[in-house]
Chain A
Amino acid sequence: MKNLDITTLRHGTALVKKGFAKMQKGGVIMDVINYEQAKIAEESGAVAVMALERVPADIRAHGGVAKMADPKIIQEIIDVVSIPVMAKVRIGHFVEAQALEALGVDMIDESEVLTPADPFYHVDKRLFTIPFVCGCRNLGEAVRRIWEGAAMIRTKGEAGTGNIIEAIRHQRMVTSMTQTLKDMEKTEIQALAKEYSQSYVNSIKTLTNQKVKDTSIIFEKYSYNTVKKEIVDILKEIKEIQRLPVVNFAAGGIATPADAAIMMQLGSDGVFVGSGIFKSENPKKRAKAIVEAVAHYDEPEVIAEVSKDLGDAMPGIEIETIPEEQLLQKRGW
């Protein structure tokens, strides 16, 4: 007699979504704007490509409202490469996400690089069959995105700048707070969970102008009590395993092999390179060099070797010269 369990095929479970993210570990995911670039990325050893209409540096220069890429471009890229294809949606824009899922995209980046769509909420990522990656600046943002169902977390950094400083800041913020959790008692963790739930509380307060009680629904179908309780569980797990419970990538400002390797040494599981490759003088050579730097991130001889003669990196921008309201990392909550 066959066990009933033998016949069931389960799609889109947390295990399947987080499993996909784990298969990207130790790899480089590259931003591409057409199938020619996607092909170069694949040939250079990228583990996946991120399909976009414009790389972040050009989004910055172009201005206007940045949205999900034209599905035609994404489809062309899907048809040409055998590695996974990811694409970005605006923060909170669950219909862009539904469209990308229908198209066959393998992972969605709910990204601050695009103009946010929802002033109150991020997407409820548990409702989707395909996995999501989300940016964070600190442990609170990471935990909220994980609670919402993200299968992968990445630093926000400051995309399109070719400047690593913000990515390092965000990685250090997450790591330091993770270490701090180690010595926290039960009551302190509960207080932290309450603090981390505040952004949902603030949204519902703005929407209803009512006092928020423990039983109040604050996000989708979830009550304030449930949110706090489940965030406590996530924090306990982070305290226990001393890392995020999902794969953690670096993104936002990576321009050189050494940039990629420093993020790996600081605890990232892999890297996203956005404008850094195709805005540089020799994309193919740089792409290969970054792939090798990530695979051998703790071997200085390899980093030195692959960094030779790569041509000019993207020019880069000092963060202080960017007007406050143009900082992409401030998007999302």
Chain B
Amino acid sequence: MNINGTVVIVRHKEHIDKIDALIIPGGESSTISKILAKSGMYDAIVQRVKDNTLPIMGTCAGCVLLAKKIVGNKGEITSLRVMDIEVERNAFGRQKESFEKSIEIKGFSKPYHAVFIRAPVIKKVWETCKILATIDKKIIAVRQKRFLAFSFHPELADDFRLHRYFLEMFV
């Protein structure tokens, strides 16, 4: 991407103190939630968000974990509650209904080819949260302050524009 920096994988709470920005990628949100809690990373992230020193980009499961509200959550996920959004998990359906599609993102001149895997949808946004992209009125990309959430997987595409957007705007 021609941007200088080091990519590290965070697995411990100590790692959280050493990074400038965090990406929470796809995976199973319930599993990631448990690992965050058990490792102490949950508290470390919440603290840095409170101090306003940690920009975060969340994709798919990461988007779910950033949300203040999760539709139908019976306690299997403890989200970080950093963005004013309500998210519905697996909102397009099961893997059969997973898809790829070119989408338009606010501020991007060319379409972005996005991959949706058992993807969540952002049902509601409030406060200062801004919508960046939708499919059939379903919200799939949002931005609020130093946080970005996407219901698809930029990590599965060869197109680094969203990573660049995150890094250049926030870091």
- By the criterion CB–CB under 8 Å, are B111 and A45 in contact? no
Whether, in the assembled complex, A234 has its beta carbon less than 8 Å from a beta carbon of chain B, the answer is no
- By the criterion CB–CB under 8 Å, are B101 and A19 in contact? no
- By the criterion CB–CB under 8 Å, are A292 and B115 in contact? no
- By the criterion CB–CB under 8 Å, are A15 and B156 in contact? yes
Whether, in the assembled complex, B95 has its beta carbon less than 8 Å from a beta carbon of chain A, the answer is yes
**When chains A and B are docked, how far (Å) is the Cα of A295 from the Cα of B27?**
13
Residue of A nearest to B95 (CB): A106
Interface mask (B8-39 → A, CB under 8 Å = 1, otherwise 0): 00010000000000000011101100110011
**Smallest CB separation, B52 vs chain A (Å):** 29
Whether, in the assembled complex, B50 has its beta carbon less than 8 Å from a beta carbon of chain A, the answer is no
- Give chain B interface residues in 113-130, CB to chain A under 8 Å: 115-118
**Smallest CB separation, A16 vs chain B (Å):** 5
- By the criterion CB–CB under 8 Å, are A11 and B26 in contact? no
- By the criterion CB–CB under 8 Å, are B104 and A6 in contact? yes
Whether, in the assembled complex, A162 has its beta carbon less than 8 Å from a beta carbon of chain B, the answer is no
Interface size range on B against A: 20 to 34
Interface size range on A against B: 35 or more
Whether, in the assembled complex, A176 has its beta carbon less than 8 Å from a beta carbon of chain B, the answer is no
**When chains A and B are docked, how far (Å) is the Cα of A20 from the Cα of B90?**
13
**When chains A and B are docked, how far (Å) is the Cα of A84 from the Cα of B117?**
11
Whether, in the assembled complex, A10 has its beta carbon less than 8 Å from a beta carbon of chain B, the answer is yes
- Which of A21-29, A141-149, A205-213, A260-268 lies on the face that meets chain B? A21-29
Residues of B within 8 A of A47 (CB): 27-28, 31
- By the criterion CB–CB under 8 Å, are A48 and B28 in contact? yes
Cβ-closest 3 pairs across A and B: A106-B95, A45-B34, A47-B28
Residues of B within 8 A of A175 (CB): none
